Chains A and B, each alone.
Chain A
Amino acid sequence: MAATGKTVERTSESPRLHVGERLRILAAHREILANLVRKELKVKYAASALGAVWSLLNPLVYLAVFSFVAKVLGAGIADYPVYLLSGLLAWNLFSASMGSGARAVLDNANLVKKVAFAREILPLSAVGVALVDFALQSAVLMLYILVSGYGLHLPELALWPLSFVTLLVLTVALSLWFSALNARYRDVGHLLNIALLVWFWATPIVYAEFQVQELAGSGTGTWLGIPRLALYLLNPMTGVVAGFHRALYGFVTPKGAQVPVLFDESLAWVAGIVTITLVVSLVGLRLAWGYFFSRSGDFAEEL
């Protein structure tokens, strides 16, 4: 009966990652992934009366608080809740995945030592859990956009799928990389928490994109010969968030406002930035996956 089975060779060499073959193996293990995500969600909301509603409360409270705060402080951004949430939800997916993804291999030491399965499943399940929250929260935001009369902006909305895929690729790449790194060097987890804090403020989520552009000298200011805005755009999350902003917030300059909120550039420019981010993230994913795969053979010994 094993005549049809494939022969696997295991040696001291860390095996080379063949993406197509590995994807097939992951596809065969997809039920472990689904079951782990289901488990995490169930455990997260077990014995809580409201269950997944808690995940929805988070953006709802943000909506309420920031509608109020924006009015009081006059933050200078019209329809601030839409601006804030369209970027913040993407950030939440990113940071939640990274946080639990980095711990994924460590926290499941017992499984890693005793069960043979594709180790990628562990950080991927962390991303999966964050993705479910992202979907729920995005539904709340969508509802708000439609019900409040803010409305959708049609050509811009086409950026959403591209931004989403970019966000996902970037998140998976970094989660894989950090989980493998954290299995070896436990400091990485602590470092990551601090890095995420800085990273959050280096990304235009709370403040207007245009403020950065203005500070950077509207594309003319340079530092060591490099345009300062380009330096800011090196942060891949800036590209992703700019994509989400353009897709959902829509206006570069809101009606009746004097100064722009988003980067004062064309839709094609933003699409270009997101595309570049996607390409870089894909390269990053291949490298991170390769690193994870070559390290994964030693996980059972290192934990």
Chain B
Amino acid sequence: MSSLANALAIEVRDVSKRFRIYREKPTSLKQRLLTSRSRAEDFWALRHVALDVGEGSTFGLIGHNGSGKTTLLKCVAGILRPTSGAILQRGRLAALLELGAGFHPELTGRENVYLNASFLGLSRKQTDAAFDDIVAFAELEQFIDTEVKFYSSGMLVRLGFAVAVHVEPDVLLIDEVLAVGDEAFQAKCLNRVREFQREGRTIVLVTHALDTVTEICDRAAMLHHGELHAIGMPAEVVREMRHVLLGMADPGFVPEQGTREAEIVEVQIVRPDGSSHGAILSGDPLTIVVDVRQNEPVDDLDVDFAVHESTNYLVLDARTSRAGIDLGRFDKKRVRFKIQGFPYDPGKYWVTIGLSSRTTGHLYHVQTQRYLFEVFDAPRAQERVEVPVGMEVEDL
């Protein structure tokens, strides 16, 4: 770590970013000419944000959905342009905003590694040198010369990770991409981040995993509705984040509430291959498994879930009462919400689980946007389709 106070890798000076939200975005000449500017609404994703990231340090960026973390990262990376203010950035930069950028289903794993690596700033020579490592990291030795259209979603994610962690920039921006994958894989990724630190690289990490921030970051900042809410030592910023998450600073967001006559014991988001970790591909089926315990007898229990995308827009919800299911009194029960195919855009989705009274609407237990899953673009085979196939075997 550098002891020089003036050695900054990133300097964010009073940056604001405005997005124009068009009710109907004018994308044609005619619309552009006819639409008056007044129909556009302004949305400030960042307001007067100022922060410095020292060379060789690891900086954590936290804040809940829509707080502007990704927007800030994109501004630093040069993908978005700030509306006002300036960003100074020194050294070669790589931004990991998405795994497997540019992956194409018709290309083999090997070809996709080279394509993806070049987007992340690796030269062919560097990729050659790292290639065996990348393949070993992804644990895909046998399939590397197979077209990726034949890969499972897990294999695709692993390959994307493997390339991402082999980049060699001076400044590395990581947007939550290390949060998917199974636990063993996550540990591997975290180790790799520590290696980056030892090599003296500057890292900016956007994450929801607050423990990771206290564990590996030198400094942290919290964004809240586009404003810099706190900056300083990771432990303090994380404490502030928890404070806000508990609803004291933001009355609109209550993470957990209810009188607990019935209680959510466990929630799992299960992928088609049966595992409960990591990403799913757009269009894949998905099961939300909710284990419920009744602490006191409840007659009118209603279990519901809701899925919000990252700008807090409700994309899907369902409840047992609407399907005519009467759960009755019980000790423990497991409810499976089977989503036939999750047809939404790639991105992160937050799941809210609720237990309430079917008749009065009284809340027994609600966990608001506590669970997260990520949907990836499905590079699919054109000649293969995946449709749900029902099967039954009966004894005769």
Contacts and interface: CB of A to CB of B under 8 A. Distances in A.
A287 B370 CA distance: 51
B86 A11 contact: yes
Interface of A: 1-3, 5-12, 14, 29, 31-32, 34-36, 38-39, 42-43, 46-47, 110-117, 184-188, 297-298, 300-301
B28 A32 contact: no
Contact of A115 (B55, B79, B88, B346): B79
Interface in B10-42: 19, 27-30, 32
B111 A114 contact: no
Nearest to A13: B81
B98 interface: yes
B90 A39 contact: no
Interface in B82-100: 82-93, 95, 97-98
A300 B97 contact: no
Given A2-B202, A32-B118, A32-B119, A114 B19 contact: no
B377 A116 contact: no
Contacts of B86: 9-11
Given A7-B88, A112-B79, 12 more contacts: A2-B170, A8-B78, A10-B76, A11-B82, A12-B85, A32-B118, A43-B104, A110-B101, A110-B346, A111-B119, A113-B79, A300-B80
Interface in B213-239: none
Given A1-B200, A12-B84, A116 B79 contact: yes
B102 A115 contact: yes
Contacts of B78: 8, 10, 116
Given A10-B82, A11-B86, A42-B106, A114 B92 contact: no
Interface in B269-304: none
Contacts of A112: 79
Contacts of B29: 185, 187-188
A245 B27 CA distance: 41
Contacts of B101: 110-111, 114-115
Contacts of B115: 35-36, 38-39
B97 A115 contact: yes
A185 B81 contact: no
A38 B113 CA distance: 13
B74 interface: yes
A12 B75 contact: no
Nearest to A114: B98
B167 interface: no
A298 B107 CA distance: 30
A2 B171 contact: yes
- What are the 8 A-B residue pairs with the smallest beta carbon separation, nearest first? A2-B91, A5-B91, A2-B170, A114-B98, A297-B81, A31-B118, A10-B87, A116-B77
